[in-house]
């Protein structure tokens, strides 16, 4: 996240992507506790004057997302924030159009997630085991989801 990409840090590119979009009112960056000082220095140097809330993350990605939502909870409850976009800052090259479409869809429907279309080619299998024509790749197996959710 703090590695350079061209003339800026990766995290700076990600934040800049969202900062420029109409409809984005608040930037929150979730960081490891041991990276708070580095994050603050990078933001001061590469995005001077841009308000970014620094939130200490958790042990897992989900816990970090949860902490960011807790940070915004009062404003969400009060209706000051009606949509929250979550983006992995280590993916700085997301196209603006994708972010705009996700934001627009979330505003209209209450939620959204970006995904790539599945192109098809000969010889591949669907998850149900049936043959699919013209898929560029095939699924050999799917990992067990047994341990991924608490319940």
Q: How many CA atoms lie within 13 A of 79 on its CB side?
A: 0
pTM of whole model > 0.85?
no
Residues 149, 151: Cα–Cα separation, whole Å: 6
pLDDT for res 114: 87
pLDDT for res 92: 84
pLDDT for res 120: 43
Domain range annotation of the chain = 4-94
Residues 63, 53: Cα–Cα separation, whole Å: 17
pLDDT tens for the chain, 151 residues: list them. 888 888 899 999 999 999 989 889 899 999 999 999 999 999 999 999 999 999 999 999 999 999 999 999 999 999 999 999 999 888 888 889 989 999 999 999 999 988 766 554 445 555 555 555 544 454 555 555 444 443 3
Question: What are the residues whose beta carbons fall under 8 Å from the beta carbon of 42, sequence distance 6 or more?
Answer: 2, 9, 11, 12
End-to-end Cα distance, the chain: 32
Question: What is the CATH topology of the domain spanning 4-94?
Answer: Spore Coat Polysaccharide Biosynthesis Protein SpsA; Chain A (3.90.550)
Burial of 74: CB neighbours in 10 Å, binned 0-12, 13-18, 19+ = exposed
pLDDT for res 1: 83
pLDDT for res 115: 79
């Amino acid at each position: 996240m703090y590695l350079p990409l061209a003339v800026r840090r990766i995290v700076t590119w990600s934040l800049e992507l969202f900062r420029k979009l109409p409809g984005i009112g608040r930037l929150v960056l979730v960081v490891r506790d041991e990276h708070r000082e580095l994050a603050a220095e990078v933001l001061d140097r590469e995005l001077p004057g841009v308000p970014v809330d620094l939130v200490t993350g958790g042990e897992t990605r989900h816990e970090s997302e949860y902490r960011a939502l807790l940070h915004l909870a009062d404003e969400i409850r009060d209706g000051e924030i009606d949509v929250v976009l979550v983006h992995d800052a280590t993916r700085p090259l997301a196209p603006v159009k994708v972010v705009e479409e996700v934001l627009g869809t979330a505003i209209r429907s209450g939620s959204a997630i970006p995904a790539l279309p599945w192109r098809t080619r000969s010889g591949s299998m669907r998850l149900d085991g049936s043959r699919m024509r013209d898929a560029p790749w095939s699924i050999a197996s799917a990992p067990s989801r047994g341990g991924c959710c608490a319940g």
